[in-house]
Amino acid sequence: MARTTITDVAREAGVSATTVSLVLNGRNAERFPEATRRRVHDAAAALGYAPNVLARGLRTQRTHTVGLISDRITTTPYAVAMVEAAQDVAREHGRLLFLVGTDGDPAVEADAVRALLAQQVDGIVYAAMWHRPVAPAAPLPAGTVYLDCFPEAGGGPAVVPDDRAGAVAAIRLLVAAGHRRIAYVDIGEDPAPLASGLRHTGYLDVLREAGVTPDPALHVRSATATAADAADAVDGLLALPADRRPTALFCFNDRIAAGAYASARHHGLVIPEDLSVVGYDDQQLIATELDPPLTTVALPHYAMGRWATEVLLGVTPPPDAADGVLRMPCPLVERGSVSPPRAP
């Protein structure tokens, strides 16, 4: 199992290690006659030579590896697309990806950063599993790109979903369908996730732009993101008399939308005829499986993961926004849960 080294190839080809290195890396390759180049290539192929990238990295100070560090890797199906995108971009550019999860523990995170630096990674993507400000536990090298989060202290290229714009698109869809009484079924977690406020802002903006005075009673909160809690939160709204009951629900996420479906069923309301519903996140297992399939706003995890890694590798320019934060659009995915309200 002794791996073959450049010296073995040199011996086999009857040249020096320098020549092998030069030829194989195509540096000044034209300095060598075709015959020599062939001999080197043939010898390398025959011996199955693959350069030891440790030795190379030691010499060149570039390892062609990148690190992806994140709080929870993948405990939810949520953000795996970000990891996948990072891995895809890395592969496309001949890089290898170190994956490390910190489980939200600052000590672990600090260790992870040290370990990655000791590995001489060419760069680090610092990812969060949900859109929020972060305060890294250990100093990150210059050039670190923030994914689905941004440094509390400001600066640094970063990419997050444009939650406000996503809500705007969702509410505009409902308004265009003719809805006026639109409820926002928010999440009641404390502290409120950043996305909660941003989506609320977008909701309010569109209502005002449509000349609708927002009714605070139509802003309800589900204690958690479980369908059961969400159903409880929605029950109150759907129990209202028909002329005060909302005709459409904008849900903080798809799980809450699933709860809304349950509540609607319980109240004998048919979606979308009696009640239109829009979700957020576009979680495959929920949005496509609900009946009718859920119209929702997709979080652009894959696109964000790609962008972050491409910026890290320098193949995409960093954002020119003053704060260095790119807000990635959240596409509206229209399925079957929105229709015009019933004529009164």
Partner DNA sequence: TCGGTTTAGTCAAACGGTTTACCGCTCGGC
Partner DNA sequence: GCCGAGCGGTAAACCGTTTGACTAAACCGA
* 255 counts as binding a second copy under rule CB under 8 A: yes
Q: How far is CA 94 from CA 43, 75, 91, 104, 142, in A?
A: 24, 28, 5, 30, 22
Among 29, 42, 46, 60, binds DNA (CB under 7 A): 60
Our CB check for DNA shows the closer of 59 and 216 to be: 59
Measure the CA dihedral 238/242/245/251, to 10°: 60
Amino acid at the residue 8: D
* 83 counts as binding a second copy under rule CB under 8 A: yes
> In which residue are the tokens 């030691």 written?
58
* 55 counts as binding DNA under rule CB under 7 A: yes
* 277 counts as binding a second copy under rule CB under 8 A: no
For residues 47 and 7, give the distance between their C-alpha atoms in angstroms, rounded to a whole number. Answer: 11
Count of residues interacting with a second copy (CB under 8 A): 53
* 116 counts as binding DNA under rule CB under 7 A: no
* Residue span 223-242 as binding mask against a second copy, x where in contact by CB under 8 A, dash where not: ---xx---------------
Our CB check for DNA shows the closer of 36 and 316 to be: 36
Among 289, 303, 264, smallest CA distance to 81 is for 303
Q: How open is the CA angle 292-296-297, to the nearest 5 degrees? A: 170
Instruction: Return the one option of a second copy, DNA, none that residue 33 interacts with (CB less than 5 to 8 A, by type).
Output: DNA
Our CB check for DNA shows the closer of 10 and 195 to be: 10
With a CB cutoff of 8 Å and minimum separation 6, the contacts of 183 are 218, 219, 220, 237, 246, 248, 249, 250
Q: How open is the CA angle 85-65-61, to the nearest 5 degrees? A: 150
Q: Which stretch binds a second copy (CB under 8 A): 99-107, 193-201, 207-215, 332-340?
A: 99-107
Q: Which stretch binds DNA (CB under 7 A): 16-24, 69-77, 199-207, 227-235?
A: 16-24
Strand partners of residue 145: 125
With a CB cutoff of 8 Å and minimum separation 6, the contacts of 134 are 126, 128, 146, 149, 150, 151, 152
Burial class (CB in 10 A: 0-12, 13-18, 19+), 98: middle
Among 285, 317, 343, 344, binds a second copy (CB under 8 A): 285
Chain centroid to CA 277: 24
Among 12, 26, 43, 59, binds DNA (CB under 7 A): 59
Our CB check for DNA shows the closer of 32 and 78 to be: 32
* 224 counts as binding DNA under rule CB under 7 A: no
Among 42, 45, 48, 51, binds DNA (CB under 7 A): 51
For residues 250 and 259, give the distance between their C-alpha atoms in angstroms, rounded to a whole number. Answer: 12
Our CB check for a second copy shows the closer of 144 and 247 to be: 144
> What are the structure tokens assigned to 138, written together?
């250990």
Count of residues interacting with DNA (CB under 7 A): 28
> Which residues bind to DNA, rule: CB under 7 A?
3, 5-7, 15-19, 21-22, 24-25, 27, 31-33, 35-36, 49, 51-52, 55-56, 58-61
> Which residues bind to a second copy, rule: CB under 8 A?
1, 3, 50-55, 57-58, 63, 65, 73-77, 80-81, 83-84, 87-88, 91, 96-101, 108, 112, 114-120, 141-142, 226-227, 255, 258, 262, 283-286, 288-289, 291
